[in-house]
Every structure is written in C-alpha cells, then in structure tokens.
Chains A and B, each alone.
Chain A
Amino acid sequence: MPPKREAGWYKNAVIYQVHVRTFFDSNGDGVGDFAGLAQRMDYLQELGVNAIWLMPFFPSPLRDDGYDISDYRSVHPSYGTLEDFKGFLSIAHERGLRVIIEMVLNHTSDQHPWFQESRSSRDNPKREWYVWSDSDTKYRGTRIIFLDTEMSNWAWDPISKSYYWHRFFSHQPDLNYDNPAVREEMWDVMKFWLELGVDGFRLDAVPYLIEREGTNCENLPETHAIIRELRQRVDEHFPGAMLLAEANQWPSDLRPYFGNGDEFHMAFHFPLMPRIFMGLRLEDRKPITEILQQTPEIPATCQWCLFLRNHDELTLEMVTDIERDYMYDIYARDKAMRLNLGIRRRLAPLLDNDRRRMELMNGMLMSLPGTPIIYYGDEIGMGDNIYLGDRNGVRTPMQWNGGWNGGFSNADPERLYSPLISNPVYGYQSVNVLSQKRTPHSLLSWMQHITATRRSTPVFGSGSIEFLYPANHRILAYVRQLGSETILVVNNLSSAAQSVELDLRRYKGNILIEMFGRNIFPRIGDLPYLLTMGPYQFFWFRLRKI
C-alpha cells in the first residue's frame, strides 16, 4: 500500500539518491539489483529518509550509466525484472518510503528501437521522432554540454546519411518534441510507471526538449508548454505524484519551470550547491547569501531540491570564471579530478575527510530552504576513485562492512561492476555501515540524528527564510519560520572559533532551545545576542516564548 500522498509531501521529504547497481547484489553476479535494494530498505528507514530517488534502471547499453535508454518500460536484466521492481516498490512503500524514478525525456540511446527505425529510412514512420538535418549548421551557437568528449551537437549517421541532434553524448540522439507522437508516447511511458505506483519522476535534461533557430535551444516557451501539458495530465490522473526538474540553470531561468504552480513541483537549485562549497573554503557567507538573494520566489506549492553531491561531477557551469578557477584550485588541484566543467569527487574527499566540515555542510543542506537529497554513501563518508573514468569514481559499490567485497556482493571481486574503494582512508575496511552502526558517535549515527531532527518540524521544509547579516561575515545565520514556529540557524563557516553578535531584537523575550541537545540558552533581550562558536560549529535553535 503506497504511503498516502498528501499534497506537498515532497516539501518535508528527505530524499536518498541511489543507483540500484551500486547498492546491494543479491544474486552474486557483481551488480546490485532490485532484490538486493529491497533487502536494504530497513537501512534507509533507520537512516530516516522518507523518499528514494532511483537512477536509471532501464535497459540500456550503459554508455552513460543508464541515461541512454533503449527500453522505457522494462528493467535492465542486470538489475532484475519488472516483478523485482514491483517487489522493491512494495517494500519501500511499506516502510513509508516514497519512490521517485528517472525519466529521461530529452533523448534515448541510439540502440533504442525507435532510433533504429528512425535512422533506417527517411520514410520510416518514426523518422520524425528524432531531430534530423542534412547539414550540421542549424542551431549554431548552442553550447556543448559534454565539452570533454563532444565537438558538436550534431552527429553524422552513416546509415541514414544525415545528421542527428544530440545535446549529450553522440550515442544519445535527442527526441523530437515538436512531434505530437513523441509527446504522446512519453506520456504513455510515464503513465506506465505511475500506474505501477511510483511517486514521482526526476525529469532529466528538461531545458533541452525543443530547438529553435536563433536561440540557445534552452528553456524555450515551447518546452514549458510541453511540461505544463505533462503536469496537467499527472495531476488529473495521479494526484500527489511529483515532478522534479533537472535543469542546470541560473535561478532566474529556473523559475519558469515552476510556472504558476502548473509545471514542476520541484527543481534542483544547481547554482547554490557550488557556492556552499565556496563559502566554506572562503570562510565567507557571501557566495551563499548572494545566490539566495537572487533566487526568485516560487509558488507556494513548489520546492527547491538541495544537494551537496550527486552522481555527476560537481558542476561549475553556473559560476563565474573567477569562481570556477577558485573552485578548481581549491577542490581539484589534480586535473584528473576535473571533468567537463566540474569536479568528479565525493563529499568526504572534497572536505578532506573532515568530520566537522561534513557535519556543517549537511547541517546547511538540512536547514536551508528546500528538500535535501543525500547521495548514497555520503552518509558514511565514502571516498571516490578519480581514475575510473567519466564519473564512475563516485558510483562505486556501497560499503556495508569490512568483509568480502565490503558486504556488497558475494561475487568474485574481479566480477564487480566497479572496483571497491580500498585505500586505508576511505576503503571499505574502515568506512562501512556495520562499523558505524556499532559506534554511537559515527557519522552515520550523526546523520540519523540530524535527519530525525530535520523531520521533527515542518519549518525546514515549508517555512520562510530570512537572513541575518551579522557583521562577522564568517557566520551564516538565518531564521526559518512557519506559522508560530521559529527556528534560528547559525553556522560558523570558519576553521577558527568565532564570536558573533546577532540582532534578534524582533524576537525579544524568546528563549533559545538548542534542538540537538535541547538545552536552553539565554533569553533574547535588547542587546545583540552574543554567541561564541567553535570551528565549523552550527546551532539550530527553536525559539520559545514562555
């Protein structure tokens, strides 16, 4: 029985992003599968998350880790069967976990039967399901997204002797959304999964659905019309199902994807993420507050999705050149860590395995306005392997224990879909779930605690935010408010102890109650409220007037 989908459930969600391949292998073939994932739902329930975002699990040649789909209505045999998926879905729902799956609307694999048909002949009924041209000069000036590997957005097809459009890898031809048949088919695909019981979709690469000459082929009005149409159908037939936009754009360009509450329910706040990393190393809140100052208001039913890391490179597309250079120099001095316009590292290595910084970053993730996403493995501080190519270094097997294959699989280690992280610092022998479960003060235990604290109040998910601007720029402080409930969040971005005076006169008379230890702090009076904070420390205070 799926959890009841109350309106706006996603606003108070804590989402866990995982690829089924990476999590747990139940049949010993070296690849994670749905049966294995189902066995690990207790773990996620204990962690405290209440939603799972699954990365693509569809049949695919896996040249882009599953984002190159060759069959939208099935499960890749390596991960199990459709029945296995249904079994997992059922167990997830029993534990109160909603399930969001990927839906790659923009493109397919070139191995998809649709493309095979489309390319076979100019007369084929599916010819216009993709974007074809006799020359590669159309839509000139459109930026190339995968800069490290692609030289053009057009690829020559030797079979049909014409060019096809691809915004990503050349083996991922773009679908033609000007074709009503394409739009109808993709709605049918979505309906298929919604009828099975999935709770929502992360729609990949949505800005690029439509191309028009003389534009940058991103964020076009026609694209938004398509999204509105999808949303209207979802609301009508599957109320409560959620649509999450993957659109790596500036906040002002992201805003239209919410429409008037009639397009996406949620969108990733891409520009905020690198600025949190930047603010931490600069020891200066300026990058964070400024991007949030530029973030427009969104409809009340909509929500930002916040994240620290994910399966892709830490993208530096939405920063200035000076900021990008700074981020590279600070976080990716080794050029092998850089990919496209980003950094392919996990959270713990980016933070030098500094427990205090990991806590602070997760504290901001959980308290800034939006729905937080935890990338699998970051809750135990997993490391990465930059030598695995592409972004595979952040997609290594989950580390369950210090034993055979880190408890991920019984297969021969050589058979694993990816080698485990095995160095002495981040290797599975030292960083694993079992060890951390036995340690009350482990990172995992701490993540459970903060997730529970986050979920203990709807303020973080649904409340307003007002920044305080103390003169000490190393302190990021803000007030979250929902109805009569007020929470003060104070973060020390510095590696050194700091003192800060906060102007809280508006809240005069309130007592501060620190939310983790539940100890009381002095009452707010007329004078600036003085706090002293240790390196990278943060406070969540509930304000109470008694």
Chain B
Amino acid sequence: MAEENLLTDEFLRQLINVGEVDIVVGLSTHNHAKTVGTVIGAIQSGILKCFPRERVAIINADGGSQDGTTELVTNASIDDLRRNSKLYALRTLHSISVRYARLPDPSKALQTILAGADLLRAKTCVIISPDSTTIEPDWLQRLAKPAYYDNFDLVCPIYQRQKFEGALVRNLLYPMTRSIYGSRIREPYGSEFAISGRLGTDFLGGGIMNQDWSRMGPEISTTIFALTGKYRVCQSFLGAKPPSSRSSHDMVAAMRRTVGALFASLDGNFPFWSTISGSQPVPTVGTSIDVTQETARINRKRLLEMFSSGVAQLGPVLGAILSPSLLAELQRIAALGIDEFEYPADLWTRTVFEFAASYHKSTISRDHIIQALVPLYRGRSLTFITENRDGPGEEIETREESLCADFERLKPYLLEIWADGK
C-alpha cells in the first residue's frame, strides 16, 4: 500500500475530493511550462473523446516547478465552478497537482502518482511524459484501453521513430531486455505507458521501489517487474516520439537511468532470467507505424572520435571491466577510419554482456562502469547509422531482429561469465 510519507495532507485532501475513479492519468513535471500546456490539452481532449463516461483524474507529481507548470495542469480541471470552460464534459474532470519534492526524483514522482491511483482505486493508470508535444488525444485510448477493457496489466508504447532515432533502445535496451527477460517489448523504457491497478498496487507494495535499481529507472523497473511477475503485458502503437530535448551531455544520465537500472535488475531477478532462453512475442495493439526518414544531420566523425578517444583514455577502466580479448578487439576497431569502421553486432553483444557481468560483480564502481559504456555505445551508434544510412525502414527492422538474435544466442555467454571471475 501507499507509504504515508508520500501523501502530504494537501495531497490527501485533494484525493478525498476526487474520490474513486476509473482511470488516472499521471504526469511527472519539473519546470515544463513550455510543453505541458500542449500535453495537458491533448490529455483533456483524449479523455472527453475516448472516455466521456468514465471517472478520470489527472494527477501531476511536480518536483518543485517555478515556472507555472502546476497551474497549467490544474487549470485542466473541468467542473461546475469554471463556468467559462468551452469544453463539454458529462462529468467533472479533476486535475490535481502535488509537490512531492523540492528537486525532481523520477522514482518518487512515479510512486506518488501510483499511490494516488491506488487510493483512488483506479482500474488503470496511464503515465504521460510532459515533454510529449507530439501527443495526440487518441494516445490515451491506445494506452488505457488494453488495460481498462482487456485486462492487460502493462501496456508499453511503440513509437513512430525517425530512422536513426532511439539508437539506445534499438541497440541495447530492446535486445537485452528481450534476451534476458524473454519478452519482445520494443520500448521497455517508454515515457508513456499504462498499468493496471493491480500491477500498480503490487509494484508499490512489493518493496521494489526502495531498491536502487528501481529508483534509478522507474519506467524500466515497472516493465521488468511486470515481466518477472504473473502479469499480462502488451504493447500499443502510439505515434511520433517527440524529439529529445536532452543534449549529448545527458547521455550519461540517460544511461544511468536505463542501462544502469537494467543491469541492476539482473541481480535480484537472476533466478527468473537465468532459466529463460529465447523470447516470446508480446500482444501488439493498433496499426503498425512505419519508420520515417531521418531529418537530423548526424556527425559521424564526431561519433568515431568519441569512441576512439574513449577507448584510448579509458583503457585501465575498460581493462577492469572487459576481457582482454574483447578489449583488444575494441582497440583494433578504434584505430579504423570512418569508412572502414564497424562495430559488429556480435562484438557489441559481448561487450554489453561483459559490462553487465562486471556491473553485477562491481569490479569497479558501478557508476563508473555505466559511464565507461557511453563511448562504446557511441561507436555502436556509428555502425547503426552507417549500416542503415541508405536503406529503407524495413532493413532497420531486419538488422534489429538480427541483433536481437545475437543477444539471445549469446545469452549463455553472459551466464557463463556471470558467476565466474572475469
């Protein structure tokens, strides 16, 4: 059940006024005034269009915004007091905001939202990113419907991506989650997802959120919790993923939150994933969305520089993480020119697995391990871009499937090095 310290008196009072609901839509914000207006408008429209009769509440967990974010969210309420509202709603729509912390903490934000949903006995909780300016009203239905009507416990998104977008998901998070946990969830770290009340309650009460790996990446931890439990999981086609506002300097933070959480999850879930081989498809809802052409210009040379300099400068660190043969191979390809450079799938897979094993054994500081992976990931990204530069979207899917097959094929290698010395 929800912990007491998540619920301030004011939040509790707001929840009492909202009462029991069918669906909660949760947003975690911190100074999102530039984008949250668009997002909240789409959410409102989605609720009125797709769930006009259901009792829906919007819960905003805010990490100390100073730019008017929370007012934008609470203004989305539709009730009999706001007589100038142009929107017609059959019933009251509550949009409440709670400040859960002075500084952003994604894990605590998710906990707060889930605690609210739990107390309101919501059958379904949909999480929406306040950055998703490409959101359409129908996203709400595409996420909520499988959970609300079809009794799925977790609904993960599938985004329409530009050609080279989502490289981290395509090259690491998806294939590794798939091979480890045996489930073909395309976006295990989705900014938008829906969970059932049952899963939310179990997630809150299972002590998971107090674990380090869960705190590092609450979104991926939700996915992993669902995959390792007896929960029904599906994925739903949404639409275009909004371009990331993060700069390349944020890659370390992104790696911590995603790869770090994924690596950390392996420790406690070993009994589960160690027995799984291969992977199973996941029910997919909606119409598939084609990959679109890349619009951003990618600096391939810069990527190669980052890889090569990383390999060179982090030699001792990489030496503590990787096997000598693998490190030697990386040093070899680091010397290649832009036209010859290739970071093959097989090599990349073994790299990731050796990093995971070292993380498990904490051969050096775990955070340093994650940081050290960043330049190597740059190299893999370069190969991903090079391989797919000229081809159509279908070829990206084919290569990705091949990469996943490599991850699944080499899983015994991970198991072999998991317990052994390096």
Q: Which residues of A contact B (CB under 8 A)?
A: 278, 282-287, 289-290, 293, 320, 322-323, 326, 467, 469-474, 494, 496, 498-499, 501
Which residue of the partner chain B has the closest CB to A294? B83
Q: Contacts A472-B19, A494-B19 hold; do A322 and B52 have CB atoms under 8 A apart?
A: yes
Q: Contact at A286–B16, with CB atoms within 8 Å? A: no
Which residues from B are CB-within-8-Å of A289? 80
Chain B: minimal CB distance from A319 (Å) = 10
Q: Contact at A293–B83, with CB atoms within 8 Å? A: yes
Partner pick for A469 among B13, B52, B80, CB 8 A cutoff: B80
Flag whether B92 is at the interface (Cβ < 8 A): yes
State A293–B88 Cα separation when bound (angstroms): 15
Known contacts A473-B80, A496-B20; 8 further A-B pairs (Cβ under 8 A) = A283-B19, A471-B14, A471-B17, A473-B17, A473-B91, A473-B94, A494-B19, A496-B19
Q: Contact at B20–A326, with CB atoms within 8 Å? A: no
Flag whether B336 is at the interface (Cβ < 8 A): no
Flag whether B368 is at the interface (Cβ < 8 A): no
Q: Contact at A474–B19, with CB atoms within 8 Å? A: yes
Pairs across A and B, CB under 8 Å, 20 listed: A278-B90, A282-B91, A284-B92, A285-B80, A286-B91, A322-B52, A322-B88, A322-B90, A467-B80, A471-B17, A472-B17, A472-B19, A473-B17, A473-B91, A473-B92, A474-B19, A494-B19, A496-B20, A498-B19, A499-B16
Flag whether B419 is at the interface (Cβ < 8 A): no
Q: Contacts A286-B80, A469-B80, A473-B94 hold; do A320 and B88 have CB atoms under 8 A apart?
A: yes
Q: Contact at B83–A473, with CB atoms within 8 Å? A: no
Q: Which residues of B contact A (CB under 8 A)?
A: 13-14, 16-17, 19-20, 52-53, 79-81, 83, 88-92, 94
State A290–B14 Cα separation when bound (angstroms): 22
Which residues from B are CB-within-8-Å of A494? 19
Chain A: minimal CB distance from B313 (Å) = 58
Which residue of the partner chain B has the closest CB to A472? B17
Which residues from B are CB-within-8-Å of A498? 19
State A237–B13 Cα separation when bound (angstroms): 60
Give the residue among A290, A323, A496 with the most B Cβ atoms within 10 A.
A290
Chain B: minimal CB distance from A122 (Å) = 51
Partner pick for B79 among A282, A326, A473, A501, CB 8 A cutoff: A473
Which residues from B are CB-within-8-Å of A496? 19-20
Give the residue among A282, A286, A494, A501 with the most B Cβ atoms within 10 A.
A286
Partner pick for A326 among B53, B83, B92, CB 8 A cutoff: B53
Which residues from B are CB-within-8-Å of A320? 88
Chain B: minimal CB distance from A405 (Å) = 43
Q: Contacts A322-B52, A494-B19, A499-B16 hold; do A469 and B81 have CB atoms under 8 A apart?
A: yes
Which residue of the partner chain A has the closest CB to B96? A471
Which residues from A are CB-within-8-Å of B81? 469
Which residues from B are CB-within-8-Å of A322? 52, 88, 90
Partner pick for A293 among B17, B20, B80, CB 8 A cutoff: B80
Chain A: minimal CB distance from B230 (Å) = 30
Chain A: minimal CB distance from B253 (Å) = 38
Which residues from A are CB-within-8-Å of B80? 285-286, 289-290, 293, 467, 469, 473
Which residues from B are CB-within-8-Å of A499? 16
Which residue of the partner chain A has the closest CB to B16? A499
Which residues from B are CB-within-8-Å of A473? 17, 19, 79-80, 91-92, 94
Q: Contact at B16–A472, with CB atoms within 8 Å? A: yes
Which residue of the partner chain A has the closest CB to B17? A471
State A284–B52 Cα separation when bound (angstroms): 13
Which residue of the partner chain B has the closest CB to A467? B80
Which residue of the partner chain A has the closest CB to B80? A289
Which residues from A are CB-within-8-Å of B92? 284, 286, 473
State A469–B17 Cα separation when bound (angstroms): 11
Q: Contact at B19–A286, with CB atoms within 8 Å? A: no
- The 8 lowest CB-CB distance pairs between A and B, nearest first, are A471-B17, A473-B92, A289-B80, A284-B91, A472-B17, A469-B81, A286-B80, A282-B91
Which residue of the partner chain B has the closest CB to A494? B19
Chain A: minimal CB distance from B361 (Å) = 53
Which residue of the partner chain B has the closest CB to A528? B13
State A27–B410 Cα separation when bound (angstroms): 97
State A174–B176 Cα separation when bound (angstroms): 79
Which residues from A are CB-within-8-Å of B94? 473
Q: Contact at B17–A323, with CB atoms within 8 Å? A: no
State A285–B17 Cα separation when bound (angstroms): 13
Which residue of the partner chain A has the closest CB to B52? A322
Which residues from A are CB-within-8-Å of B88? 320, 322
State A498–B14 Cα separation when bound (angstroms): 13
Which residues from A are CB-within-8-Å of B20? 496
State A290–B87 Cα separation when bound (angstroms): 13
State A287–B52 Cα separation when bound (angstroms): 14
State A286–B14 Cα separation when bound (angstroms): 18
State A355–B19 Cα separation when bound (angstroms): 23
Which residues from A are CB-within-8-Å of B89? 286
State A285–B90 Cα separation when bound (angstroms): 11
Q: Contact at A286–B79, with CB atoms within 8 Å? A: yes
State A283–B21 Cα separation when bound (angstroms): 11
State A278–B92 Cα separation when bound (angstroms): 13
Which residues from B are CB-within-8-Å of A470? 17
Chain A: minimal CB distance from B140 (Å) = 18
State A278–B90 Cα separation when bound (angstroms): 9
Which residues from A are CB-within-8-Å of B90? 278, 282, 286-287, 322-323, 326
Chain A: minimal CB distance from B33 (Å) = 24
Which residues from A are CB-within-8-Å of B79? 286, 469, 473
State A293–B89 Cα separation when bound (angstroms): 16
